[in-house]
Structure 1
Amino acid sequence: MLRAGDAYALSLYPADSCYMLNLDELVAEGVTVFVARDAAGAALGMAALVNRGDGTGELKRLFVNEAGRGQGVATSVMDALEAAARAQNIHTLQLETGPKQLAAIALYEQRGYGHIDNFGPYVGDEFSVCMEKALA
């Protein structure tokens, strides 16, 4: 799943504009990984929640493979991630995606994420679109 997500991002954007957590970062303290699987146990999609410890978090690495697209996998993963964020007392969730990922941007907008100025490592990156949602 990680390799497929990496390959997809690198097919769209320059390597220095791909801000993917690596395996060590995914198992770090404050990071929760969500994986959606089919009935046979094969991974269909994933995302990671990075709890910054200050009431804010970042959604990272949302990716759904070809087999999972159009089946509500991204919605299920996002539902679980946002519920976990609330349980961790995260009040604001931010994310970064790319301008070529129109379906992802539409999904985030439908879920109540609004466009914000680029933050952190994404400042000044023309291939970054940053968004934010206040969690109730």
Structure 2
Amino acid sequence: MLIVALANPLDPGPAALLAEAQALQAATYAPENNHALPTEALAAADIRFFAAREGDRVLGVGALAIRVGYGEVKAMFTSDAARGKGVAAALLRMIEDTAREEGLTRLNLETGEELAAAVRLYERFGFTRSGAFGDYVDDGVSLFMSKDLA
């Protein structure tokens, strides 16, 4: 059974999956276009970090960064073995539910066209393409998406 719960990104299972995600980001994007948070930053007080587990196996991770006036989806990643099994959808549902509990009315995220499966997931969840937000700049590489929470 898949369980999604708050987790510590510094624990071995989540940290290993985050390292895999960061390696993919580094291979896909130039350093100036790579906006992944370092693993240590995902343990900050303004981050709600989640792991999806089946037993002791960490299958996916994702985070909600609490910002002034909105939440930001960060660090979404699913292991290769778990792709297509609803792990990312379960994580995104938890992030949305937590954002609502935190009183947030909007979610934003930054991704890239190269991550087509992620873009499809976000679109299925009602995210639409939007402009840059927060400290991001429109660099022609990043894809920005947002969703109003009702």
TM-score by length of 1: 0.93
Question: 1:19 and 2:19 equivalent?
Answer: no
* Structure 2 partner of 1:42: 57
1:8-47 Cα deviation digits (max 9, x unpaired): 11221112211111123111111100100122x1111111
Count of equivalent residues: 134
Aligned equivalents of 2:141, 2:66: Cα separation in 1: 24
Q: What is the DSSP-based 3-state SS (H/G/I as helix, E as strand, rest coil) of the residue aligned with 2:138?
A: coil
Aligned equivalents of 2:91, 2:149: Cα separation in 1: 16
Contact 1:55–1:89 (CA under 8 A) maintained in structure 2: no
* Structure 2 partner of 1:74: 88
Residue identity in the other structure for 2:145: M
Deviation at 1:61, TM superposition (A): 0.9
CA RMSD after TM alignment: 1.1
Residue identity in the other structure for 1:24: E
Aligned equivalents of 1:11, 1:26: Cα separation in 2: 21
* Structure 2 partner of 1:105: 119
Aligned equivalents of 2:74, 2:134: Cα separation in 1: 14
Aligned equivalents of 1:121, 1:56: Cα separation in 2: 13
Identical pairs, percent: 37
1:1-136 superposed matches below 5 A: 1-39=17-55, 41-52=56-67, 54-136=68-150
* Structure 1 partner of 2:9: none
Deviation at 1:121, TM superposition (A): 3.6
Any stretches of 5+ residues in structure 1 without a counterpart? none
Q: What is the DSSP-based 3-state SS (H/G/I as helix, E as strand, rest coil) of the residue aligned with 2:51?
A: strand
Contact 2:131–2:138 (CA under 8 A) maintained in structure 1: no
Deviation beyond 2 Å, 4+ runs, structure 1? 119-122
